[in-house]
Structure 1
Amino acid sequence: MKSSVLFICLAALSLSACNQTKKENQQAVASDSSDHTTMTADTTHTSQNSLDWPGKYEATIPCADCEGIKTNITLKNDNTFSIVSEYINKNSKVEDSGKVMWHDNGSVVHLTGKETNMKLKVGENKLIGLDQDGKEIDGPSAHLYVYNKVEGEK
């Protein structure tokens, strides 16, 4: 008889312990969900809709067989662009124009024309050259692939 009373008490104790753990888990899950709500990224502000991106940008990018390529890129409000690339000391100039496509939630422009196929990250008054994989160019010459906005140009 004592053993059956002891068994019933132990069973009741274990069931109440399980119920307590379930309540604690529910409270933990509820507080975790509220944390996720507050950590939602702000996707309404992008380079495309928050920055003054239309305008003229310039840089002199490296060249294997010349002193550099002076490049001017003009981005227009109608999502078109024009580009002029002049090979320094080579008397060679390439001009092109085409469409601007926006990628990565409005932070990257993809310029496509007859001669042009390039992606650039849009920053405050600058465009940053991206490699074939869409990553920022790094290394000692990375700063040469930053196109700065020309003051007073649109």
Structure 2
Amino acid sequence: MNKSLLTITFLALFTTACSEPAQPSANTAAQTEATASISLGDTSKNALDWPGEYEGVVPCASCEGIQTHISLRADNSFELKTVYLGKDERIFKVTGTAVWDEQGRNITLADGSQYLVGENQLIMLDTEGKRITGELAEHYVLKKKGC
């Protein structure tokens, strides 16, 4: 009895292991592709009212601070204006298109600066795209005007 059960098990295993895998139908492939292109869940890009004007003074090693103003538009264009306070009062201006990361959370501007897009705020990230920590971390937040 045990010998015949063992033989049947091996025979079943052998026949299923050697069969060709089922090919997905055209419908299945189309559904998989459509699902992959649909964003899963809310992101900063699709759920927040992020277009607007953001301002703040971020820390500076060689000046009193960097007055920063970012205008973000719904078409992803931006204008960044910075002034190095107490050092050079000229306004430095950069324009271009903000590029969203794959998760729809962070943007990168043409000057290479990166920001986490939050509710009515932009949080400046370090050069590796990570949040700045430490006692000055709260100073790397730009607040949305009019909120």
AA aligned opposite 1:82: E
| Aligned-pair identity (%) | 41
1:92 to partner: Cα distance: 2.7
After TM superposition, list the pairs within 5 Å mapping 1:6-85 onto structure 2: 11=2, 43-85=40-82
Matched, 1:132 2:127: yes
Select which of 108, 114, 136 maps to 2:106. 108
Aligned to 2:130, what secondary structure does the other structure show?
A: coil
RMSD value over aligned CA atoms? 2.0
State the structure with more CA Rg: 1
Matched, 1:144 2:139: yes
Aligned to 2:115, what secondary structure does the other structure show?
A: strand
- Tell me how far apart the structure 2 counterparts of residues 65 and 105 of structure 1 sit (CA, whole Å): 34
Gaps of 5+ in 1: 1-7, 16-41
TM-score between the two structures when normalised by the length of structure 1: 0.67
Gaps of 5+ in 2: 7-38
TM-score between the two structures when normalised by the length of structure 2: 0.70
Q: Please name the residue that 1:39 is paired with.
A: none
Paired residues, number: 114
Considering fraction of residues, name the structure with more helix.
1
